[in-house]
């Protein structure tokens, strides 16, 4: 495994709210962003922030309409776009590493990445490895040493299901540290980062694996200690948290937050959306949003992002087969 495995970024947004349902664009809303989940959380944030900034800096003439379309871990939205709205030139959809992971693991019922066009990423929510404040593990090396000595002695909680992105983060670190059989590492999937931290603080697991945005509030209360952030560099505003790389573990695992668009839009329209996303990523407004939410800077746009997705999915597929998630 190399740093390349999950190295990308994007946090996005779009204004106006909807508790659910499917909408069509109107003259008052020239563009629409689907957040494949209920209000709140990363996909919703992506749509609202990127959409708002697009309007605020004059990239679109009207506020971007937000449609929350929860279901199937993003699968309902993906299927809707891939099968029913394939040429909608005014549609963008929030995506993240979870999207690529689920596609790579065939969790969307046979859907494939070529059924949409991946637009780009302009930020990332870095992965983290966290322990309770009273944990005997003082750094990532201590934790990995315990896993090497007895992989079954260390359990982790995370907000994704077994085989999902949070689980894979731990396995990457274990592989980088020379753990012989990573399948023996115990993992408990719960409903989100807050529940995962509760498991760890309560002593039910020895560690928590999640994203930086999920632990910010808990760091302030002193309930947990972050042993490592899984980004290339330390995250601005959280400079006291060392990276895994600087501790000797070659792992970068960031939950990129970005967008995809329908596959049958014209190349001209695709490039127009690319230019808009690039402008959002370069704006002062986006820099402020990243800093406020603990996001790491990273921009991969257009054709480069499509290439990244292909490599990323190949890496996820390889690791998923190694640990028995898929055949």
Domain with CATH 3.40.190.10 in the chain: 126-247
Percent of the chain with pLDDT over 70: 91
DSSP characters over 266-312:
-HHHHHHHHHHHHHHHHSHHHHHHHHHTTPBP--EEHHHHHHHHHHH
Instruction: Write down the pLDDT at residue 18.
Output: 31
- The Cα 178–Cα 174 span in angstroms is 6
**Structure tokens of 4?**
């390349």
- The residue that leads in pLDDT, 73 or 262, is 262
> Looking at the domain that runs over 126-247, which CATH code has it been given?
3.40.190.10
Mean pLDDT, the chain, whole residue set? 87
For 3-124+256-322, CATH number out of 3.40.190.150, 3.40.50.300, 3.30.360.10, 3.30.420.10 equals 3.40.190.150
- The Cα 270–Cα 117 span in angstroms is 8
In a 10 Å sphere around its CB, with 0-12 CB exposed, 13-18 middle and 19+ buried, how is residue 25 labelled?
A: middle
Backbone dihedral angles phi then psi of residue 81, each to the nearest 5 degrees: -70, -45
Residue 6 clears pLDDT 50, i.e. is over it: no
Half-sphere exposure at residue 173, Cβ-oriented, CA atoms within 13 angstroms:
34
pLDDT tens for residues 13-42? 222 333 333 333 334 457 999 999 888 778
Instruction: Write down the pLDDT at residue 15.
Output: 28
Pick the closest to residue 230 from 97, 110, 75 (CA basis): 97
- The Cα 3–Cα 312 span in angstroms is 11
Instruction: Write down the pLDDT at residue 48.
Output: 94
Instruction: Write down the pLDDT at residue 149.
Output: 96
pTM of the model: 0.75
Instruction: Write down the pLDDT at residue 29.
Output: 54
pLDDT tens for residues 104-161? 999 899 999 999 999 999 999 899 999 999 999 999 999 999 999 999 999 999 987 7
pLDDT tens for residues 167-222? 999 999 999 999 989 989 999 988 778 889 999 999 999 999 998 888 888 888 99
- The residue that leads in pLDDT, 157 or 236, is 157
Domain with CATH 3.40.190.150 in the chain: 3-124+256-322
**Angle, nearest 10°, between helix axes 42-56 and 267-282?**
90
Residue 82 clears pLDDT 90, i.e. is over it: yes
- The Cα 178–Cα 147 span in angstroms is 9
pLDDT tens for residues 239-255? 999 999 999 999 989 89
């Amino acid at each position: 495994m190399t740093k390349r495995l999950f190295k990308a970024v994007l946090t996005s947004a779009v204004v106006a709210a909807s508790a659910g349902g499917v909408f069509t664009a109107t003259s008052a809303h020239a563009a629409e962003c689907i957040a494949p989940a209920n209000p709140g959380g990363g996909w919703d944030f992506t749509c609202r922030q990127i959409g708002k900034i697009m309007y605020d800096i004059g990239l679109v003439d009207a506020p971007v309409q937000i449609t929350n379309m929860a279901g199937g871990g993003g699968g309902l939205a993906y299927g809707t776009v891939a099968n029913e709205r394939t040429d909608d030139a005014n549609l963008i959809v929030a995506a993240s590493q979870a999207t690529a992971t689920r596609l790579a693991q065939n969790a969307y019922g046979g859907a494939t990445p070529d059924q949409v066009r991946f637009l780009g990423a302009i930020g990332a929510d870095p992965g983290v490895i966290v322990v309770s404040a009273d944990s005997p593990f003082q750094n990532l090396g201590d934790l990995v040493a315990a896993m090497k000595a007895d992989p079954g002695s260390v359990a982790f909680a995370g907000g994704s299901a077994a085989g999902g992105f949070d689980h894979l983060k731990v396995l990457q670190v274990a592989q980088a540290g020379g753990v012989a059989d990573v399948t023996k590492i115990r993992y408990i999937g719960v409903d989100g980062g807050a529940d995962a931290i509760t498991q760890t603080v309560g002593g039910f697991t020895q560690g928590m694996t999640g994203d930086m945005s999920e632990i910010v509030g808990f760091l302030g209360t002193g309930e947990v200690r972050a042993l490592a952030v899984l980004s290339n560099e330390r995250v601005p505003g959280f400079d006291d948290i060392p990276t895994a790389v600087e501790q000797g573990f070659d792992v970068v695992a960031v939950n990129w937050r970005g967008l995809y668009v329908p596959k049958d839009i014209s190349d001209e329209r695709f490039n127009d959306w690319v230019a808009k996303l690039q402008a959002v990523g370069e704006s002062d407004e986006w820099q402020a949003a990243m800093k406020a939410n603990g996001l790491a800077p990273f921009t991969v746009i257009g054709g480069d992002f499509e290439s990244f997705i292909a490599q990323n999915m190949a890496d996820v597929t390889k690791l998923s087969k190694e640990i028995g998630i898929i055949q």
